[in-house]
Structure 1
Amino acid sequence: MFSDFLPVAAFFAGVVSVLSPCILPVIPAVFAYSTEKGKFRPLAIVSGLSLSFTSMGIVTSLFGATLTAYLGYLNIFAEALLITMGVSLLFDLNIFNVFGNFSSLANSKKEGLFGGLLLGLSLGIVWLPCVGSVLGSILTMVAVSGKITYGALMLFIYSIGFSIPMLLVAYSASFSSKKLQKVSKYGFPLKKVAGLIVLGVGFYMVYQNHFGSF
Structure 2
Amino acid sequence: MELLSVNVGRPRTVDYTNAPGGRTGIDKRPVDGPVLITAPAPGGASGVAGDAVCDLRFHGGPDRAVHAFAREDMEVWEGELGRPLPPGSFGENLTTRGLDVNGALIGERWRIGPDLVLEVTGGRIPCRTFAGFVQEDAWVRRLNRSPAGPGALLRVIEPGEVRAGDPVEVVHRPAHPITVTRLHHAATADRSLLPSTLVAAEWMESGLLALARNHAEKYGE
Shorter chain as denominator, the TM-score bin is: under 0.3
Structure with the greater alpha carbon radius of gyration: 1
Higher relative contact order (CA 8 A, sep 6+): 1
Q: TM-score, normalised by structure 1?
A: 0.26
- By percentage of residues, which structure has more helix? 1
